[in-house]
Each structure stands twice: as C-alpha cells, then as structure tokens.
Amino acid sequence: MLPPFALERPDRLEDALALIGDDCLPYCGGTELLMAMKLNVLRPSCLVDLKGIAALARVEWRGDSLVIGGAVRHASLAADAEISRSLAVLTVVEQRVGNARVRTQGSIGGNLCFAEPRSDVATLLAALGASITLASSTGQRRIAITDFVLGAYETVREPTELLVEVLVPSARLKSGVYLKHQYAERPTVGVALVREGENGVWRLAVGAVGDVPIVIEVSSLDEIDAEAVADMTDPIEDISGGVDYKQHLVAVYVRRAVQAAAEDLGA
C-alpha cells in the first residue's frame, strides 16, 4: 500500500523549486513514483505535484525548435495536431507508449527522469538530438539527452533540480521512423531513425534493449550494417528475451527501420 506522505500543490515553478530535495520528490503522473513507493523502494515524506504549474504544461515552437514542458502528458503529445503535422514520428511514439492509463497520467519529464531503460521516448529523443533543461532555485542548465541519462534509473539530475523542458532543435526539418518490438507492457527493442533535413545526416538510435540508447550517425542509409549495430548493443536478459534473441531483434528492427526510411524517401 501507499505509505503516508504530505502533498504540496504549487502553481508556480519557483515554489516547486523551493520545495524539492532529497526527501521531497517531484511528482507528476505518479505512474513510476507511486509504484516505487508502494513497493517501499522510495519513501519520501513529501511529494510536490507538478501538474498545476502552467509553465511546465506548454508545448510551443521557438522558431523551428519544438519545446515541450516537463509535465506534458503522453496523451496530450499523442493528440497534438501541430506535432502530428510537423514531427509525426513523435506522435507515433506517444500514441503507443504503454497503455491508455500510462499515457493519460504519465509525463515526458517523468519518463526521462525515472530513466527506466525500456523507454521509447528517450530512444526517439536521442535520435532527434534533443536536449533538456534542468532548473533549480539557483539557475538552469541545458544538457543533451544522451548526456542526461547515465544508466538504468540513473541521470545527472540533482535532487534539487526539475526537468522543465525538452527541446528538439530544428524539429520542423527532421523526419524519421520509429519501430518497436513490444511484447509486454514495455518495449523490448525500440529503433529510431531520423534524418536531419532533406540532405542531412541520419541518426539511428537503438533503445530499450540495453541500459541506455546507443546512437549512430551516418551520412547515408547504406552505411548502416544491422548486424554490426546489433553487436554494439549490450542487451539486458529478462522475461522478454535472452541476449541472442534481443540482438537478433535489434538487427531485424534496424533493417526494417532502414527499409521504412528508404520507402519514405522514395514516396
């Protein structure tokens, strides 16, 4: 059961930043946090609900860059008409995160900060070259997504920092595909393949299979060797598969992603 805790519901970012710390955790959808508390893995004395803070709930364009507030829920991103026009690959990912309950409750910030390895969102954002902004009561810092996630359940975020926004640079110029093998509640393998503009480089990210996504940059699709990519991964063996099976899946999905991207080009 859920142990007792105090609940704070600030509506200003400054107030939230003043509250959070080692024993007072940010709380958004609670899809990970409350489960960890029920299992007694986390036992904070207070939670700071981020859902009332307007500054964290925005989705907006800054020029060609897409800026997503840290508390925006998966379901909102999946339903966002502007995103589906300009960055359809994000829509595809968000529509298929977990299940309906997770999508309506869970936030993009919670997904990234919890750093559960089997994340579609982190994989796609890595391929998109996204970064995040961490804020504390003393200042802000921007970090590339690939530098933010250190390992399973591990990020560079300090307990006094909030993830306030996700920034996808030049999002309007990017296009891509995302494919995943999902057998249980979370993905087994996710592969994102994104192109930086019409003649730009390709960025391939493979996630969910190991602790952190791996990212490879190539100038043409022909350079992608699916077997070699599979060899680069370090799969976690679990109920959804052994190491050899997961590496095989990586190769399959990389091939499929390359094929889908090539078809998109041809279309």
Partner 1 sequence: MPDLEPGQTHLHAGRSVLRPDLIEKVTGAAQYCVDIRRSGMLHAKIVRSRRAHARIASIDTSAARAMSGVVAVIVASDLAGLFARFGHIVPDHEILASGKVRYYGEPVAIVVADTEAAASDALDYVDVDYEDLPAVMSAEEALAPGAPLVHEEQHRRVDVDSLSPVETGADQGELRTSNVAHEATLEWGDVDSVWPVAAAVVENRMHYPMLYAYAMEPYNAVASFDEGRLEVDSTAQHPFMVRDDLARIFSLPLAAVTVRAPYLGGGYGSKSYTKVEPLAAVASWRTGRPVKLVLDVEESIYTTRADSAEVHVRSAFDDQGHILAREIDIVMDSGAYADNSPLVVAKSVNRSFGPYRVPNLRVRGRSVYTNTSPASSYRGFGAPQGVLAGETNLEQAADRLGIDSAELRRRNLVRPGEEILHGKRGIDADLPADLEMVVGALREHAPEDQSWFASAMACSASDAGAFPVSTATVRVQADGSVIVLSGSTEMGQGSRSALAQIAAEELRVELRVVTVRQSDTGATAYERTTGASRTTTLTGLALQRACQDALSKLRSMAAEVKGCSADEIAPSPAGFALPGGDTISYGEVVRSWFGAAAGEVTGIGLLRREGATAKMPPFWEIGMIGVGCRIDPATGAIAVEQLVTVGDVGFAINPQAVEAQDLGAATQGLGCALFEELLYDGPQLMNPNIVDYRVPRMRDLPGRIDAMLAERRDGVGPYGAKGSGEGALNPIAAAVATAVARVVGRWPDRVPLTPERVWRLINETGPDDTTGDRSSPREG
Ligand X SMILES: Cc1cc2nc3c(=O)[nH]c(=O)nc-3n(C[C@H](O)[C@H](O)[C@H](O)COP(=O)(O)OP(=O)(O)OC[C@H]3O[C@@H](n4cnc5c(N)ncnc54)[C@H](O)[C@@H]3O)c2cc1C
Q: Are 101 and 124 in contact (CB under 8 A)?
A: no
Told to check if 213 binds ligand X by CB under 6 A, we report: no
230 binds, among ligand X, partner 1, none (CB under 5 to 8 A by kind): none
**Which residues partner with 192 through β-bridges?**
178, 205
Determine, following the binding rule CB under 6 A, whether residue 230 of this chain makes contact with ligand X: no
The answer to the question of residue 32 lying near ligand X (CB under 6 A) is yes
Query: Within positions 164 to 193, which residues make up the interface with partner 1, using CB under 8 A?
Result: 181, 183-186
Q: Is 3 in the site for partner 1 (CB under 8 A)?
A: yes
Count the Cβ atoms, other than its own, within 10 Å of residue 28.
27
Are 97 and 127 in contact, with CB atoms under 8 Å apart?
no
Residue 113 in the binding site for ligand X (CB under 6 A): yes
- Continuous segment of H or E residues that includes residue 7: strand 6-8
Of 202, 220, 236, nearest in space to 89 by CA: 202
Binding window for ligand X (CB under 6 A); candidates: 84-92, 108-116, 216-224, 248-256? 108-116
Contact status: 154 vs partner 1 (CB under 8 A) = no
CB 228 to ligand X: min, Å: 26
Of the residues 9, 51, 172, 248, which one makes contact with partner 1 according to CB under 8 A: 248
User: Taking CB under 8 A as the rule, does residue 212 contact partner 1?
Assistant: no
> Nearest CA to 46 among 33, 59, 61?
33
Residue 109 contacts ligand X per CB under 6 A: yes
Options 108, 205, 206, 249; binder of partner 1; rule CB under 8 A? 249
Q: Rounded CA gap, 31 and 19, in Å? A: 21
Tell me how far apart the alpha carbons of residues 244 and 231 are, in angstroms, rounded to a whole number.
Answer: 10
> Per-residue contact track with partner 1, 64 to 103, x per CB under 8 A?
-----------------------------------x----
Q: Do the bridges between strand 46-49 and strand 139-144 make them parallel or antiparallel, or are there none, so unpaired?
A: unpaired
Helix %, strand %, coil % for the chain, to 5?
35, 30, 35
Span interacting with ligand X, options 101-109, 140-148, 227-235, 250-258, rule CB under 6 A: 101-109
